[in-house]
A and B are shown apart, each in its own frame.
Chain A
């Protein structure tokens, strides 16, 4: 689960991770009030959306006086911000962070994440912080420092020193960096984060270390033990259909094509999308109803996909293991009747009680096309939309 920068910074404050003074504003008036409270200009205005690349995309601006502040906030609120991480459709800006301007001496990059390969928590740091870090990683990987922390031991003193010395951190600021690393690691572990990224981490001209940005992603499997985080979820940043699907524990991603599909199991769902594409059609979604989904789940899935106006046909691909084909077929027939489906539906079933399942579909009198195997299903669905 992603949160906004302003929310992440509030959490940082609780863990004594130094951030600049700031506040979140939903209107021009609020922005002005916050700037007053910060004790003067310049202030930085940062669009709050769940994506990186805001600086390059024009979502971060400096205001030297109240007039400039009002102009910038007016421009930001309601605008669609496109960055290389939002996709071409961009995101609507609904709030801005107003932060005290800083005099920056040096910018660094710092992040913590779970490294799948080593199965450790890895600290990633670079002297070449700022908006071009992706370029740095690609062209000069030797400038990226990686230190792996054993989750059973936690972060060690020498590991913090290694980050500090390899970053070439000035001796006077080293203690501040160690405290920040220690607290950041603590934050990461205690809150079950999967990513914490500070870009840039800055050294001010006064010699202080500050997290000037904060990007945090949490492990959704661990949210049950962090009830306070649930309140930070911003549904406005998510696809409404995906939100609806998540209410029913359906694993759904909205895509651009016109072939809706319902599959049990994530791997099979991905492979089914591939098959649709190979046959010359394009999937409208990824939908995994779960390996052992109930007929109720199938009905929910059906409803969500039918609500998508771009869907011109539906392919259902079920491998019945725990989920028996006869139970599943009943779910499809019920769902089709209730929703009054009026587009072609191709059903391919295999596994436990498949013959009973096929019989139920045939006897339903509904316009459901049965497919004998995957290749047949792909050919039939492509014929239906092309």
Chain B
């Protein structure tokens, strides 16, 4: 087992004829992912290599049985593309696009809560179950099949962590980048719950960042609901506090959001805390 994606995942790539879309669709196929369709409105009937291109998501699903969307559409059109995937009936959407207006994402997120569909991202590297399926832009080669689940808010920082795990001999069950935007489809707790329920995952690495209070909430969830060991890391501990414009942000987040508050939340809730990225592989080796 693994979470969210596996060898049965059938991917439709939105924006497959674009520069990014075609490049990464090919890399996913090379990794072994079943990319069954692509979408570019107006280019239906064409092919990207061997992959049939459709005008709409519903057509692609009907013809190919696609169950997962991978989105590379530019920011102004991305919310539309996500909603098309939801209404088309896919079960999982991975949105790579960076720079979607937050107002668009607020609407999309509130719409999604009424649907049986999971969104990962936007502004994320995607998801990979090593040896089975890669739905994203991460370098496949650094991953290795195994029993550590990885969940992170960032891209290259996740690669760094995975690379250290693999070099330390620790393979991964599934690695997910949930994205760094203020509003994301999937949060830490969603992923932690899925890892807890997954037989193949024996331990979890959670990579957070300063800002917001997702890490604090996740830490409380870990204490309450998780029996598997979790190693936590927070990027940006030494970053100077941002110059705020108004008072409103401070009113909402209170004392939360700082690196120190997150580390404290980790420690108080039994999360094994790594405070130097250079040592995360070694620390995981000791704990897992």
Interfacial residues, chain A to chain B (CB-CB below 8 A):
2, 50-52, 85-87, 111, 113-117, 119-122, 124, 133-134, 137-138, 141, 144, 150-152, 189, 192, 194-195, 197, 199, 215, 217, 219, 221-222, 224-225, 255-256, 263-268, 270-275, 277-278, 283, 286, 291-292, 319-322, 350-352, 373-375, 378
With both beta carbons as reference points, the residue of chain A lying nearest to B153 in the complex is identified as: A267
CB-contacts of B72-105 with A (<8 A)? 75-76, 99-104
Of B31-39, B44-52, B53-61, B243-251, which stretch is located at the interface? B243-251
A50, A86, A195, A277 interface centre (most CB from chain B within 10 Å)? A195
Asked if A350 meets B138 with Cβ closer than 8 Å, knowing A111-B246, A265-B156, A270-B239, the reply is no
Q: Is the CB of A271 within 8 A of B243?
A: no
A221, A256, A271, A351 interface centre (most CB from chain B within 10 Å)? A271
Asked if A270 meets B137 with Cβ closer than 8 Å, knowing A144-B251, A221-B101, A319-B163, the reply is no
Residue in A137, A255, A271, A286 whose CB lies within 8 Å of B251: A137
Docked Cα-Cα span, A141 to B182, in Å, equals 24
B154, B182, B212, B248 interface centre (most CB from chain A within 10 Å)? B248
Docked Cα-Cα span, A134 to B253, in Å, equals 12
Docked Cα-Cα span, A124 to B249, in Å, equals 10
Q: Is the CB of B139 within 8 A of A352?
A: yes
B42 contacts the other chain (CB 8 A): no
Give 18 pairs: A residue, B residue, CB < 8 Å, sorted on A.
A85-B245, A122-B252, A151-B110, A199-B247, A219-B101, A221-B75, A221-B102, A225-B76, A266-B209, A267-B153, A267-B157, A268-B157, A271-B160, A274-B237, A274-B277, A283-B238, A292-B137, A321-B155
CB-contacts of B155-211 with A (<8 A)? 155-160, 163, 180, 182-183, 207, 209-210
Binary A-proximity of B239-278 (CB < 8 A = 1, otherwise 0): 1100111111111101000000000000000000001111
Q: Which residues of B sit under 8 angstroms from A275, Cβ to Cβ?
A: 276-278
Q: Is the CB of B248 within 8 A of A113?
A: yes
Asked if A321 meets B159 with Cβ closer than 8 Å, knowing A124-B248, A152-B110, A271-B235, the reply is yes
Docked Cα-Cα span, A374 to B279, in Å, equals 9
A139 to chain B, nearest CB (A): 12
B147 contacts the other chain (CB 8 A): no
Binary A-proximity of B200-239 (CB < 8 A = 1, otherwise 0): 0000000101101110000000000000000001011111
Asked if A215 meets B163 with Cβ closer than 8 Å, knowing A192-B102, A277-B238, A375-B279, the reply is no
Q: Is the CB of A267 within 8 A of B103?
A: no
A55 to chain B, nearest CB (A): 12
Q: Is the CB of B278 within 8 A of A116?
A: no
Q: Which residues of A sit under 8 angstroms from B138, Cβ to Cβ?
A: 321
Interface range, B side: 35 or more
Q: Is the CB of B157 within 8 A of A52?
A: no
Q: Is the CB of A270 within 8 A of B235?
A: yes
Docked Cα-Cα span, A275 to B159, in Å, equals 17
Q: Which residues of B sit under 8 angstroms from A85, Cβ to Cβ?
A: 243-245
Docked Cα-Cα span, A272 to B157, in Å, equals 10
Docked Cα-Cα span, A85 to B244, in Å, equals 6
Q: Is the CB of A267 within 8 A of B243?
A: no
With both beta carbons as reference points, the residue of chain A lying nearest to B213 in the complex is identified as: A117
Q: Is the CB of A267 within 8 A of B155?
A: yes
Q: Is the CB of B245 within 8 A of A137?
A: no
Q: Is the CB of B137 within 8 A of A116?
A: no
Q: Which residues of A sit under 8 angstroms from B141, Cβ to Cβ?
A: 352
Q: Is the CB of A224 within 8 A of B76?
A: yes
Q: Which residues of A sit under 8 angstroms from B246, Cβ to Cβ?
A: 52, 111, 113, 195, 197, 199, 215, 217
Q: Is the CB of A266 within 8 A of B180?
A: yes
Q: Is the CB of A319 within 8 A of B251?
A: no
With both beta carbons as reference points, the residue of chain B lying nearest to A194 in the complex is identified as: B102
Asked if A114 meets B137 with Cβ closer than 8 Å, knowing A151-B107, A197-B248, A270-B235, the reply is no
Q: Is the CB of A116 within 8 A of B183?
A: yes
Docked Cα-Cα span, A120 to B111, in Å, equals 12
Q: Is the CB of B251 within 8 A of A219?
A: no
With both beta carbons as reference points, the residue of chain A lying nearest to B159 in the complex is identified as: A319
The 4 closest A-B CB pairs, nearest first, are A267-B154, A265-B156, A267-B157, A374-B278
Q: Which residues of A sit under 8 angstroms from B23, Cβ to Cβ?
A: 322
B142 contacts the other chain (CB 8 A): yes
B126 to chain A, nearest CB (A): 11
Docked Cα-Cα span, A277 to B240, in Å, equals 12
B95 to chain A, nearest CB (A): 14
Q: Which residues of B sit under 8 angstroms from A151, Cβ to Cβ?
A: 103, 106-107, 110
Docked Cα-Cα span, A9 to B19, in Å, equals 43
B109 contacts the other chain (CB 8 A): yes
With both beta carbons as reference points, the residue of chain A lying nearest to B24 in the complex is identified as: A322
With both beta carbons as reference points, the residue of chain B lying nearest to A321 in the complex is identified as: B139
